[in-house]
Structure 1
Amino acid sequence: MSLTAAAASASPTLPQGIDADHLAVIARQAIVNDKREVFGYELFDRSTARDAHTAASDAALLFNALSYAGAEALVGQKTVFINCTQESLAGGHLELIHPDKVVLEVATLEEGATQADIESRLQIFQGLRERGFRLAFDQHVLRRAYASWLPMAAFIKLDLQTFALKDAGVLVKFARTHTNARIVAEKVETAEQFEHMRELGVHYFQGFWFAKPDLVRAQTIRPSQATVLQLINLVRHQASTADIEELLKKDPTLSFNLLRFINSSGFGLSCEITSFRHAVMILGLKKLFRWAALLMTTSRAGGSPPAVGQTAVVRGRLMELLAAELLPPEEADNAFVVGVFSLLDVMLGVPLAKAVETVALPQPVVDALLHGKGVFAPFLELTKACESGDDDAFARNANALHLTNHQVNWAHLQALAWAESLSEV
């Protein structure tokens, strides 16, 4: 059976009468050990014609691969390697992925990066490691400027196309002396390269000499925004599992997406979940809300342009990141809701006050959305200023919140990357 056919047979059956509205195309390339046994797979996005990966495509690839593409046929129980830009490392999509399954491949910074730029990434790396993610770096991490990154490395990948084979021994020795990382020789194209690196004690290999990337195509489906809004409403009310289960039973598209996600390799469960009640209990209300918010931004709105949902989640993510600098964690969650729901009137085609009535929201959230008042109002105004390029409003609200231009601009870049990833999933 071909890989594509195997993936199709392993994926859940589409509910009858539902048309797929998107196609995810994912390539995998094996990473093998010194006995040429498969250790893991690096995944590549082939859904678009772009050659270079971005924060958005990285995040979309990860969610597609582990939630939609018949992940058991795609990667089985093997380790998954995913390329990440610096921006995508802070993406909210990683909150929905089981870290034991994933190695995040992190590129070193562009030429001209300062030592302060390099050191500033350490907190993000440490946070990912504490959550259980493993990090892989390219050979440039062996440069003196990146010495502080070395303790963070679980893997170091040596690209055999970038240096002479006779110089490999120096790199391998240096990596072994200064790190505890496992070394992967990549872009291996000849038996000579394989044997030479194996003699140096390298245990992991990747390249065309072993296998070219295989393609897997997977269809995705989206429920209506109205249905997802009902789910968000139930979660915000902290509804019972029975009430949430009842909604899932009424909408096969919604339940299909939930079961497919929770049974993916990325979620990391050892047994298959077939009960809606069990799925809700396993996921928990906080992750269920995050998942539903993601679905809402990518679901059909019956007329509103896709860009509206993307803009809404940029606002939500930006407000969440900025609020996290100044407010308690639960308030940062509410900031996310303010941002996402600030365009609810456009997405649903009704006045904002009427739209807000359909969802149970804390009073400070309502105050910001409908009256421009309260703790979240300046955050919302600041996000709108970021969209419009209104320098005066930007400066006024940033100063009111005691946030620097650097803090706001960095958070905005992260929010843009995350929101774009959701629209491409």
Structure 2
Amino acid sequence: MNQYIDIYLGRQPIFNRKMNVIGYELLFRGDAHNNSAQILGGDTASAEVMMNAFGEFGIKDLVGRHRGFINFTEGLLLRENQSFFPKDKVVIEVLEDVKVTPVLIESLEKLKQKGFLIALDDYVFNPELLPLERFADIIKVEIHEVGPKQLIEHSKRLRAQGIKLLAEKVETREQFEYCAKLGFDYFQGYFFAKPQIIAGRRLPTAKLTVLELLSNVYDPEVDMHKLSDIVGRDVALSQKLLKFVADTGSENVHIHSIHDAVLRFGLNRLKSWASMLVLAGVDDKPLELLKTSLLHAKFCELYGEKVSRHAKESFFTVGLFSCLDAVMDTEMKTLLEKLHLDESICKALLAEQGELGLALKTVRAMEQGQTGFDLPQGLTPNMLSEMYVQSMHFAESIKLG
């Protein structure tokens, strides 16, 4: 039976000079009582904000006709060139602790080319961040961290470049009027409103289903029908996708099926969405554990293509589920009793029996540096090494974080 999970999101309005709302910053919140960000990996927190905003609450209900300002860590900026979210509903906030590198600059250039608005968050005029100013539509200045002289000097310089200025942590009318006099365009802080905690509920998403979706969207021979089948097997995944497509598409277009939604979403956005789902759901698990599952899945699939009468999908499933007990913190036998998998797959996972089990046993032996194991029929050590390297590249190519 599906148990609903309570979810929370912080929403703080951003105002213009006339004190009209022009957008909302969307913030990670772990519970209903603590109105501040709890300690959590930055990538995971941002991913969870996005998944809840677009897949659960609905971005239109959260921000109306405005935009949502969302924090982007360095890790997310380096991987979001195929963004799943619409450019007219999001302002990408570049956090102040990013490292200015050629790769980051390239990523920002691509996001700008796609039409995204970019804000520099908590800006304190650090000279090392100057190269980022040319990408900024908005610069958010934490006014308590900047002296009056700096504030006057840099606000004039930035306004001359056509950059909009947003004063953060405005707590009094005097601060608001002072920043407005300096030419600031937007304002955010307790003088206007504290972040509002918005509560909701969602269905749990099966981690291994998300992982299976992630691995398949990166398959060069991807079959969109197969992707639709994977999404359709999980009620929570289906709901998230349908919610997003309905919320960001035309009101005159009606979705006829999960496959219809998958096609409208498109492969590139599916890649970004799937990797973000993984990030949002594995804050309690090391990503290397999921990479190991993917490596095992690919190796077993390649193995099966060369030596077996079984369908390669069965080999892939054995490899993908090989770390299921560690991912789910439950004994493998207990998990398999609920999954209704074919007996040959269960025997492979529980005791490395049969042809499927030999594939799993082989990849585990290679990981442990063993050399004395029996070679599968028709395969040489060089062939196994090549398959393992290919599987490593496959697992690394998938953007888990």
Distance (whole Å) between structure 2 residues aligned to residue 91 and residue 107 of structure 1: 15
Which of 102, 117, 121 is the equivalent residue of 1:134? 117
C-alpha contact (below 8 Å) 2:84/2:270 kept by paired residues: no
Match of 1:47 in 2: 30
Tell me if 1:34 matches 2:17: yes
C-alpha contact (below 8 Å) 1:32/1:40 kept by paired residues: yes
Match of 2:338 in 1: none
Distance (whole Å) between structure 2 residues aligned to residue 372 and residue 174 of structure 1: 61
Match of 2:324 in 1: 347
Match of 1:153 in 2: 136
Alignment: residue pair count: 327
Which of 275, 278, 292 is the equivalent residue of 2:260? 278
Tell me if 1:121 matches 2:104: yes
**How far does residue 308 in structure 1 lie from its aligned partner after superposition?**
8.0
Match of 2:374 in 1: none
> How large is the Cα RMSD of the aligned pairs?
4.5
Match of 2:197 in 1: 215
**How far does residue 67 in structure 1 lie from its aligned partner after superposition?**
1.8
Give the unaligned 5+ runs of structure 2: 32-36, 296-314, 326-331, 333-344, 350-354, 360-378
What is the 5 A alignment of 1:12-411? Answer: 18-20=2-4, 22-47=5-30, 50-51=38-39, 54-91=42-79, 95-109=83-97, 117-118=100-101, 121-138=104-121, 140=123, 142-165=125-148, 167-177=150-160, 179-222=161-204, 224=206, 252-264=235-247, 268-271=248-251, 273-276=254-257, 277-288=259-270, 291=273, 307=285, 311-313=289-291, 343-347=320-324, 350=345, 351=348, 354=356, 372-374=384-386, 377-378=388-389, 380-381=391-392
**How far does residue 222 in structure 1 lie from its aligned partner after superposition?**
3.6
Distance (whole Å) between structure 2 residues aligned to residue 101 and residue 299 of structure 1: 23
**Which structure has more RCO (C-alpha within 8 Å, separation ≥ 6)?**
1
Distance (whole Å) between structure 2 residues aligned to residue 294 and residue 146 of structure 1: 27
Identity of aligned residues (%): 26
Distance (whole Å) between structure 2 residues aligned to residue 66 and residue 55 of structure 1: 17
**How far does residue 154 in structure 1 lie from its aligned partner after superposition?**
1.1
Bigger mean CA deviation after superposition, 40-49 or 50-59: 50-59
What is the TM-score normalised by the length of structure 1? Answer: 0.62
**How far does residue 88 in structure 1 lie from its aligned partner after superposition?**
2.2
**How far does residue 38 in structure 1 lie from its aligned partner after superposition?**
0.8
**How far does residue 220 in structure 1 lie from its aligned partner after superposition?**
2.3
What residue identity is the alignment partner of 2:135? M
**How far does residue 149 in structure 1 lie from its aligned partner after superposition?**
1.8
SS of the counterpart of 1:201?
coil
Distance (whole Å) between structure 2 residues aligned to residue 260 and residue 69 of structure 1: 9
Distance (whole Å) between structure 1 residues aligned to residue 189 and residue 24 of structure 2: 11
Distance (whole Å) between structure 2 residues aligned to residue 155 and residue 54 of structure 1: 22
- Relative to structure 1, the CA distance from residue 169 to residue 74 in structure 2 (aligned partners, 3 Å threshold; closer, same or farther) is same
Distance (whole Å) between structure 1 residues aligned to residue 216 and residue 96 of structure 2: 43
C-alpha contact (below 8 Å) 2:124/2:145 kept by paired residues: no
Distance (whole Å) between structure 1 residues aligned to residue 240 and residue 79 of structure 2: 21
**How far does residue 245 in structure 1 lie from its aligned partner after superposition?**
6.7
What residue identity is the alignment partner of 1:256? Q
Deviations 1:289-338 (A, max 9, x none): 665676689889xxxxx748862248769xxxxxxxxxxxxxxxxxxxx9
- Relative to structure 1, the CA distance from residue 104 to residue 316 in structure 2 (aligned partners, 3 Å threshold; closer, same or farther) is farther
**How far does residue 39 in structure 1 lie from its aligned partner after superposition?**
0.6
What is the TM-score normalised by the length of structure 2? Answer: 0.65
C-alpha contact (below 8 Å) 1:308/1:347 kept by paired residues: no
Distance (whole Å) between structure 2 residues aligned to residue 50 and residue 163 of structure 1: 26
C-alpha contact (below 8 Å) 1:70/1:218 kept by paired residues: no
- Relative to structure 1, the CA distance from residue 248 to residue 155 in structure 2 (aligned partners, 3 Å threshold; closer, same or farther) is closer
**How far does residue 227 in structure 1 lie from its aligned partner after superposition?**
6.7
